[in-house]
Amino acid sequence: MAIIIDENTRVVVQGLTGREGRFHALRNRDYGTKVVAGVTPGKGGTDVEGIPVFDTVVEAVEATGANAAVIFVPARFAGDAVYEAADAGVGVIVCITEGIPAHDEARFVDYVHLAYPGTVLIGPNCPGLISPGKCNIGIMPGEITLPGGPVGLVSRSGTLTYQAVHELTQRGIGQTTCVGIGGDPVPGTGFIDCLSRFEADPDTVACVMIGEIGGSDEETAAAFIASEMTKPVVAYVAGVTAPAGKKMGHAGAIVSGSKGTAAAKIEALEKAGCRVGRNPSQIGELMAEVLKGT
Amino acid sequence: MDLFEYQGKQLLARFGVPVSAGEAVETVDDAVAAAERLGFPVVVKAQVQVGGRGKAGGIKLADSGDQTRQHASNILGMDIKGHVVRTVWIEKASDISEEYYASFTLDRAAKKHLGMVSAKGGVDIEAVADEDPAAIARVHIDPLVGIEDYHCRQLVFGARLNPAARSGAIAVLKQLYKAFVALDADLVEVNPLILTPDGRVHALDAKVSLDDNAAYRHPEFEALRSLSSLDPRERAARERGLNYIGLDGEVGIIGNGAGLVMSTLDVVNQAGGQAANFLDVGGGAGAKTIANALEVITADPKVRSVLINIFGGITRCDLVAQGILDGFGTIDVKVPVVVRLDGTSAEEGRAILAASPRDGLMSAATMLEAAARAVELAKSGQEA
């Protein structure tokens, strides 16, 4: 099994006719993902290499039975795209777009959660998610993953996720699902939501969690791991040497005063019983040890 | 983007927040002229984006033109925790009965707006939060609903403000919140918010941080930015569209993706070195971006070696390799460069580098090996 997306996921791509949307949607389809529709207002009736394009998401859903949406539209239109996808009734919305104003994000994340509690919003500013061998939505290179589990991975980062997956795959450790929740201040889906899904997934035996400086999501996740999780968690936190007050690329990655430091997050995770790697290679080493013990 | 006090005050005033009349000046003569226009006493305030300027002597009361001249000449050019004062704000002095704290920000954990008020203003609010958390009243505001009167009442009564300040404080809170949302601010903070002897509530300081992601719908952001102080290295990087942050070490870093670059800084540190910078070329960087990045990094005289750490996803390692060779072709790279390529088109990338050897350019198989090598080279470079 996998979490959130699998072989039954049917994807509509918002912004399919744009440069990024086209490139990644076709890569996702090549991977085996069921990319069933695209949406670009005014281009309804055309197609992109056989993928039909519609003017609105609701039309695309009615015509193709799409049950997930991925958003590749520019930041200033991304909020609109999230509302449209949610109101069209898809159960999974993956927002790849980065650079969305935080106030817009706070509003649409709030709306999706209040109006559609069953809908999963991943991102924004995220690489997407992949259930290896079944479905890949977003920009992750599918070829570095290894199907079949037993590890579920959740991460705030993009390329660092690839590095971590690479470390696992190199050691022959496969993955059930890898979720990039994104580096923005208000992610639609957090660590805890993914960890609880992995805890419930019979094929996931252990989890990898990759955090970074800023906010307190890792600490909250540590408390959840300590009280609710039976499956082992290997963690890594980037930004140990990041100075206070400097935003490290991601809008959410900033140490303010004594809050949000990597040291505090690592301490909280270790206290919760996680094995915490000091560099990305150790994620693979520690997971190999953990799996030997299970 | 963090604003100076005077920029913040001028923005908040547009939303009706009461602030003192004042002028921002950059010379001693202009400071005296401004003070005379405003009328004495005035306060001469250093404009720096760092806390503790009062203790450092950056805020002084002046009763005359001569005193203004003396204070302004002391404060202009003063170094406050590494920030050199280039501007002073001359403001009409206020009578203060009590000092409060008020702010609005986004609470990431709750995914809601957070309003905070305290009767203990004028001091470091983080210290208050640590020592006496009950002294800070907090209320969450749903971003879809916005502020209602009850939110303000909960803050003002919860913080036990002087009854004389209640109605004034409620009015200011509503104006502050309006500014917070309309300006796309990450933070609006007034510390102190004062109660005057005649019962007015008034912002004596302002800390406003704006969301760069919203700049497209706020043309005024660009003018505010040009006034704020940027590291010259950061300015050069910004002009080339690179996400760069200057640090103090000797190993220059180029990577793709914020998380991977942060992790690279950590690994360099574990190998016994210090990173000179954070530089994320982003997703899908082509040869031109890589060459630009190499140019910015090697222009930093502190840099003794460069570590390029790329895990290709959208980014293609063959294009990265080409960019590195282009950089070596157009700029005089005087320090050794260690390259680690993995992911999309990594084999092609490594082959391109292997086919065109350059002095001082070398490959490493893993991130850890690359970091160790770059640190070692930076150290031997310093000895040489």
Q: Structural domains in chain B? A: 21-92 (3.30.1490.20), 98-224 (3.30.470.20), 232-383 (3.40.50.261)
Nearest to B144 among A111, A156, A163 (CB): A111
Quick one: fold of A141-293?
A: Rossmann fold (3.40.50)
A contacts of B247 (beta carbons < 8 Å): 243
* Tokens found for residue B11: 């923005």
Nearest to B106 among A185, A236, A239 (CB): A185
B contacts of A159 (beta carbons < 8 Å): 255-257, 259-260, 311, 313
Distance of CA A84 to the CA centre of its chain: 20
Taking residues B349-367, what's their average pLDDT?
A: 92
Contact A12, A39 (CB under 8 A): yes
What does each of the 294 residues of chain A score in pLDDT, given as a tens digit? Answer: 899 999 999 999 999 999 889 999 999 999 999 999 999 999 999 999 999 999 999 999 999 999 999 999 999 999 999 999 999 999 999 999 999 999 999 999 999 999 999 999 999 999 999 999 999 999 999 999 999 989 999 999 889 999 999 999 999 999 999 999 998 989 999 999 999 999 999 999 999 999 999 988 999 999 999 999 999 999 999 999 988 878 787 767 777 767 789 999 999 999 999 999 999 999 999 999 999 987
Angle value at C-alpha A288, between A285 and A294, nearest 5 degrees:
145
Residues above pLDDT 70, as percent of chain B: 98
**B29 Cα to chain A: minimum distance (Å):** 34
B contacts of A127 (beta carbons < 8 Å): 313
**B303 Cα to chain A: minimum distance (Å):** 18
Domain extents in chain A: 10-122, 141-293
Candidates A159, A208, A236, A255: best to mutate against B (most CBs of B within 10 A) is A159
**CATH code of domain A10-122:** 3.40.50.720
Taking residues B14-42, what's their average pLDDT?
A: 96
In CATH terms, are A10-122 and A141-293 the same topology?
A: yes
DSSP B237-252: HHHTT-EEEE-SSSEE
Query: What pTM does this model have?
Result: 0.92
* Tokens found for residue A120: 């999963």
Rounded Cα distance, A19 and A253, in Å: 28
pLDDT surpassing 60 at residue B382: no
The residue among B58, B14, B7, B65 whose CA lies nearest residue B38 is B65
Amino acid of residue B370: A
pLDDT at position A81 is 98
Amino acid of residue B220: E
Query: Among A92-106, B30-44, B76-90, whose mean pLDDT is lowest?
Result: B76-90
* Tokens found for residue B178: 């309006």
Answer yes or no: do A163 and B311 touch at CB < 8 A.
yes
Number of helices (H) and strands (E) in chain A: give both, helices first: 9, 14
Query: Among A42-46, B108-112, B157-161, whose mean pLDDT is lowest?
Result: B108-112
Buried b (16+ CB within 10 A) or exposed e, A167-196: bbbeeebbbbbbbbbbbbbbbbbbbbbbbe
Q: What is the CA radius of gyration of chain A?
A: 18
pLDDT at position B210 is 94
Q: Each residue of B278-314: pLDDT tens digit?
A: 999 987 788 889 899 999 999 999 999 999 999 988 8
> What own/partner pairs with CB < 8 Å and gap ≥ 24 does B154-159 have?
B155/B102, B155/B115, B155/B116, B155/B117, B156/B117, B158/B117, B159/B100, B159/B117, B159/B118, B159/B119, B159/B135
Nearest to B184 among A103, A158, A183 (CB): A103
Rounded to whole angstroms, what are the CA distances from B265 to B232, B268, B283, B295, B309? 21, 5, 19, 19, 10
pLDDT surpassing 80 at residue B204: yes
B384 confidence band (pLDDT: 50, 70, 90)? very low
B contacts of A110 (beta carbons < 8 Å): 111-112, 142-144
Interface predicted TM-score of the whole assembly (ipTM), two decimals: 0.90
